[in-house]
Structures are given as structure tokens and as C-alpha cells.
Amino acid sequence: MSSLLRLKSPITTIAGSILLVLLGLVPVFAMLLDDPFMLTLFTRIVIMAIAAVSLNLILGYGGMVSFGHAAYIGVGGYAIGILAHHGITEAWIQWPVALIGSALVALLIGLLSLRTKGIFFIMLTLALAQLVYYLGNGAYAYGGDDGLTILQRTDFGGLLDLNDKETLYYLCWVLLVIVLWLTYRVVNSRFGMVLQGAKSNDRRMATLGFPVFRYRLTAFVISGTICGLAGILTATYTDFISPAMMHWTRSGDLIVMVVLGGMGSLFGPLFGAVTFLMLEEILSSWTEYWKIVFGPILLLVVLFARGGIDGAMVRGAAGYALTGLITLFLIYVVHYLWYDDWIPAAVVLAGAAAAILAIWYRQRREAVAIASAGGDHA
Amino acid sequence: MTPRFITRSLFFFMTLLLIEQFLNGLQIGLLLFLLAAGLTLVFGIMDLVNLAHGSLYMMGAFFAATLTEWTGSFLLGALLALPATALLGIVVEVIALRNLYTRDHLDHVLATFGLILFFNELARILFGVGGMAIPLPDSLLTHFEVLPGLPYPTYRFLIIVVGLLCAVFLYVLVQKTRLGMLIRAGATNREMVGALGIDIKLLFTLVFGLGAALAALAGLMAAPITTVQIGMGDNILILALVVIVIGGIGSIRGAFIAAVMIGLVDTMGRAFLPNMLGTVLSPADAGTVAEALSSMLIYILMSGVLVLRPAGLFPAPGR
């Protein structure tokens, strides 16, 4: 199924827009529920969504499985942290330095890794990201592996006060909307067409006269820069940088978010980030050992629900997926009213299991239908 | 004392130090080889990227620690942990991974990433957060003289011996036996092997079990030197991946050479960089930087190899 079709399928766009609006209303919910923690959680969700959207640009549309995207989060974050450490907090210095830094690192990593394909590309992006990770570990002047606390947040003059939680949240949210819009424009431009063409058959694109390597490299750098933006925001809202933010498992988390949501779909990574982090939040409030539930869920998604949430919506299991997602959000709110209660978590788990089973059943039926249709032709 | 004598003895001590560090590097390299051999077998034959291989390494170490506690003997614990982990690997293969062979690498990465999360939590529940230690019997706590004037811990030497024996075992298994012939044939063209009437499913399951046992062997051999803890497989897994990518996916010989190479680079870096950096930095800072630098050296090495030879040093035929 072409990614264009997915982009234009109204159901995903509607669900994505609803989710974006709901996310925009989070500070209101937080105020109504008098729960400041909710805002912190959703700041994280929105920031990770930006990172996931950036990864989707090359993974979903370009077919480049970067297993080292956390490196750019690190570069963006370290740029802010290091400048703040030296007393430079002006936004007009910090942000450009961080963004250009991420772009340069992405350019270097892309130049080296894009020469390879398939599993070697995955491993090379991983290895180069590990290099950046150990660079952070060895940066003893900036805390080594203990990390560095940022004492003063970025100074936007009188324009924005980032110490205000709601201002910071809305900054992240607006940036997410901008990044989504930007991705939409890039993907539907001539550039985006070439990128998607190269994903399905790069030899064909090369034969048509497109310098595929350069197109891919450009996309790689754009993606890295946007991910650097997520790094800037991460450092700002945690007031802390450490090599842990670019550990390889963080890159794994990002891939999970993209695939869980649906690769090559505009809103896919947004669904993925929200689902991933909310599942984490709900499951971890349910049991300390939440990953023992989350790991198998991930396995089930890979085994039975390919195409992720977005794919499920397009394939017609929209009912399950859409209700699932919005219920997840509502249940989360309800969960706060019944604080410390296990019922909502159990409901979510049962729901997730039911949805996965339903999607699997549907795929089975479709596969059978396709097989028998193929038999007729033969 | 003549100056000549001083330089001579200095040279002598430097040589001893070098040999000792060489042995350390060899030992780490061979541990890596044990881990990487299973990974490259599975990768080469089933074309499966198994990130959960590090989890099998960890589970093997935990099994060995628990069984050593129960039986009171390290040898018995180790011998029992190997089939236990192989069985665990077979169960994982049959339940989860068997259905993934026809999928692309991204699906492998995701599914086995999920398995890592699962196993880390499982270990936390079963064995506790604190980790475990495997006490060595007294007979292995000794030193013995490798060369006159160069005592070396017996246990570390044992690791080298076991690693080399395993390398020989794998060489004979892969090159000289019928099973090895099937493995090589499967790596080249699995459809054809299946078409010739070989039970490919069974072969794959067996190879996966063998890989799991090798991972467990690496884990339990490493355990007495480090400790058995949650996530111990996560970082060494990346190193093992680096090894098989440098060596060429599916090539045992490549994995052996790359593993020893990486072991040596890492150890030499850790041993000699602090002194070199010590001339410009304070000792504590030099230590931090040296550790990061020698870790970075490995990834620089890998990037260099891949840029020059995109399929690794010894690409398996037919891939």
C-alpha cells in the first residue's frame, strides 16, 4: 500500500487531528484535575513525538532504518547543557548552535552509513551513535557519565518564559504541529516523491537520473536536525543532560514508537509515541515490572499487527484502533480520578489484547481471501 | 648499573606487561567470540537479527549462579546451565522467533527488542535487583606462571583455553560434520536445502539452541570476573554485533578474528591510554577519557571496516 494513500485516508487524518487537539487541551485537563504531574508526562510525550516524527521521515518514507537516532537527541541536549554551563543562555545562540550541531553530526553519520544497505546500515548507524554516546561518557568536563545539571533554562528575552510549565508545554506542542506540517510538505514535494520512490526501488530512481544518495543524505540531515530539536526540548524540560539520553535502547524506543504507530504515515509516530509512553505510564503504575507486559505486547504487535495503529485504521479495523486510542486517553484521565486503582490498567490491557487479536483475525481472513482470489486467477 | 642494563630491564618489564595485556585482550576477545559465534550462526543461517541473544547470555549467567548455589559446585552449575539455556532458547525460537524468519530485519529488531525488555524484567523478578555473584572454587583462585616472572590468574587462563577449545569445536562441527555441512548449505541457500528433503525447521531450532548454549557459556564464564546482573547482556550484545559485522555475517572464522581484534583494541586502549593521557590530564580525568576513547576506538574500527569493505572482512559465500 502506498504511503500516499495512507496519508490521504481520512480516518487517520481525523484521528490524528483529534489527538493533536486533545494534546493541545492537556494543560486544561491538568488544571481541572489539579494534577501538575500530568503536564510533565505529556511534555515528555510531545517531545518524544517530535523525535518519532523525525525518525519516521527517513524510516517510514525513506526506508532507512536508523538505529542511532538517540544520538541527535544527545547532541541537541548537550549543546544546550554545555552552553548553559558556560553561562550562555540566550536562545538565539543556544538553539541555532544545537540545531546546526545536530545537522552536522547527522551529515557525518549519513555520509558514512548511507554507503551501506540493509542490516549493515542499521549496524553502522548504531555504531556511530555509540561513538557519540561514549563521547558524552568521556566528556569529563561536563560530568562524564554522571551527566550535568542545567542551572538556568534558555532565555527567550521577554518573549517566552520557559520556567513556566504551561508555556514550555505549549512551545513543545506548537513545535510538534510545525514539524508535522513540515513533514507533510516535505513528503508531498518532488523531493519526498523521489525519497519514497527510492524506498521502493532505488535502482529505478537512479536509472531515471536521480542522485539517490544525495536525496537520502538530505533527508537524513533534515531528520537528524528535527531530532536535535527534540533533544533541545528534552534538556530544557528535564534541566539535565547525561549520556543515558542517547543510550542505544533509547534509539530502540524511537523505532518502536514509529512502528507501533505505523511507518510512512504522517500521524503514525504521533499515535506511536502517545501509545508507547502512556502504556509505559499506566503499566508502570500497575506493576513495577511493567516491561514484562510491554515486551510481549511489542512482540505481538510485530507478529500479528503489522502496519501498526495507522495500518489497522486504514485496513478497516479503524473502529478498534480509533476507539482504542481515544479510550486509552480517557482511561488515563479516569485513572487519575481513581488513583492507585488497578482496574483501568486491567481494562487497557484487556483492550489492547482484544484489539491485537481482532486485527490478527482480520488479517488472517484477508490473507485467506487473497489466497483464494489468487487461486481463481490461476 | 650501566644505563644499558636499565634500558634492558625496562624493555623486559614492558614486554612482560605487553604479554599480560595481550592475554587479557585475548581473554576478552574469546568471551566475545563465544557470544558472537551463536549470533553469527543464527544470523548467517536464519537471516535473523537476534537482539535477545544478550538476554540468553544474561539468563545463562543467572542459571549458572543459581545452580552453583544449589549444587555447591561451579563446574556442576555450569554444566547444568548450558542445557537449561539451550532449552530456553529453543522455547523462545519455537514460540516467538520461528514466525519471523520471512520478515524483514526491522521486524526482527523490534520483536527481539521486546524480548530484551521481557527477559530483563523476568530476571529482576526471579533473581532480584541486586544481582548475584558466582564464587570460584579455590583451585581456580590461584595464579600460575605463564612465563618465568609472569604470573597469571588461573581462571582467566581457563577462559582462554575454553574459548580456544570452543573455536576448534565449532570449526570441526561446521567444516567436518554432516550437521555442519547442512549449516553451511543453509547459510548459502536455505530453500534448496529444504527442497533436498532436510527438515529445515528442526535444523533452525537446533542451531538456535546451540547459539543459546554458546551465549550461556560466555555469560557464565564472564560471571565470576564481573557480576551477574540485570542488563549485563545489553552492552556486550552491541559489541558482539560489532564483531559479527566486522567479521562478515555468518562467518565463524570472521567472528573469531574480529572478536580477538576487538578484545585486543579494547584492552590495550584501557591499559595504555591512561598513561599516555596522564601526561596532560589529571589521573581521574585521564581514566574517564581513556575508557571512553578505547570504547570509541572499537566503533571507529567498525566504521572503518564497513566503509572500506561493506560486507565485512570475511563475507560468507552466497550472501
How does pLDDT run across B69-120, given as a tens digit for each residue?
Answer: 899 888 999 999 999 999 999 999 988 888 888 888 888 988 899 899 889 8
**Does a structural domain hold residue A275?**
no
CB of A256 within 8 Å of a chain B CB? The answer is yes
State residue A5's pLDDT score: 44
- At A281 the pLDDT is 82
Q: Is residue A327 part of a domain?
A: no
Count other C-beta atoms under 10 Å from residue A108's C-beta.
15
Q: Residue B3: its pLDDT value, please?
A: 67
Is A177 contained in some domain? yes
pLDDT for res B153: 87
B28-74 pLDDT, tens digit per residue, is 999 999 999 989 888 888 888 899 999 999 999 999 999 998 998 88
* Residue B314: predicted pLDDT: 83
Are B116 and A137 in contact (CB < 8 Å)? no
List the one residue out of A291, A286, A358, A282 whose CA is nearest residue A318. A358
Residue at A310 is within a domain:
no
What pLDDT score was predicted for residue A16? 85
- Report helix, strand or coil for B262: helix
Q: Chain A, 185-244: which have a CB under 8 Å from a chain B CB? A: none
DSSP B153: E
Predicted local distance difference test score (pLDDT) of residue B198: 85
Compare B309 and A180 and report the one with higher pLDDT.
Answer: A180
- pTM for this one? 0.84
**Residue A131 with chain B: CB contacts under 8 Å:** 296, 299-300, 303
**pLDDT for the residue numbered A378:** 34
Identify the helix (H) or strand (E) that includes residue B144: strand B143-147
More confident site: B252 or A35:
B252
Q: What is the DSSP string of B164-206?
A: HHHHHHHHHHHHHSHHHHHHHHHHH-HHHHHHTT--HHHHHHH
| Residue A300 forms part of a structural domain | no
Do the domain assignments include residue A314?
no
Per-residue pLDDT at A3? 46
**What's the rounded Cα separation, in Å, for the pair A246 and A128?**
12
Q: Which amino acid is at B258?
A: A
Is A130 in contact with B238 (Cβ distance < 8 A)?
Answer: yes
Instruction: Give the integer Cα–Cα distance in Å for A232 and A95.
Output: 7
Q: Please list every residue in chain B whose beta carbon sits closer than 8 Å to the beta carbon of residue A110.
A: none
A303:B288 CB<8 A: no
**Which three cell numbers mark A365?**
481472513
Of B122, B303, B311, the CB nearest to A127: B303
Domain that holds residue A186: 2-266
User: Quick check: is A276 in a domain?
Assistant: no
ipTM: 0.82
What is the distance in angstroms between the Cα of B99 and the nearest Cα belonging to chain A? 7
Q: Answer whether A85's CB lies under 8 Å from A142's CB.
A: yes
First to last CA, chain A: 23
B231 neighbors B58 (Cβ within 8 angstroms): yes
Could you say which residues from 96 to 135 on chain B have a Cβ atom under 8 Å away from some Cβ of chain A?
96, 99-100, 103, 105-107, 109-111, 113-122, 124-125
- CATH code assigned at A226: 1.10.3470
pLDDT of A183 reads 95
Q: What is the mean pLDDT of residues B181-205?
A: 83
Task: Give the C-alpha separation, A296 to A286, whole Å.
Answer: 16
B109 with A122: Cβ contact below 8 A: yes
Q: Quick check: A276 contacting B, CB < 8 Å?
A: no
Task: In whole angstroms, give the CA distance from residue A373 to residue A366.
Answer: 10
Domains of chain B with CATH codes: 26-308 (1.10.3470)
**Positions of chain A with pLDDT lower than 70, given as ranges:** 1-9, 286-287, 305-378
Show which of residues 111-150 on chain A sit within 8 Å of chain B, judged by CB atoms: 112, 115-120, 122-124, 126-128, 130-131, 134-135, 137-140, 144-145
- Residue A377 domain-assigned? no
For A241, the 3-state DSSP assignment is strand
Number of domains in chain A: 1
Restricting to B residues 136-155, those with a Cβ less than 8 Å away from any Cβ of A are none
What was the pLDDT predicted at A85?
A: 94
Mean predicted confidence (pLDDT) in B202-209: 90
Q: What is the mean pLDDT of residues B143-171?
A: 87
Mean pLDDT of B172-185: 87
- The mean per-residue pLDDT over the stretch B280-302 comes to 80
Of B301 and A2, which is predicted with more confidence? B301
User: CB-based contact (8 Å) between A303 and chain B?
Assistant: yes
Cβ distance B107 to A306 less than 8 Å, yes or no, reads yes
At B294, is the pLDDT very low, low, confident or very high (cuts 50, 70, 90)? confident
The number of beta carbons lying within 10 Å of the beta carbon of residue B98 is 15
pLDDT: is A183 or B18 the higher one? A183
pLDDT at A33: 81
Q: B42: which chain A residues are within 8 Å (Cβ-Cβ)?
A: none
Percentage of residues of chain B with pLDDT beyond 70: 98
Decide if A303 and B99 are in contact by the 8 Å CB cutoff.
yes
pLDDT band at B318 (very low <50, low <70, confident <90, very high): very low
Given pLDDT bands bounded at 50, 70 and 90, which one contains residue B181?
Answer: confident
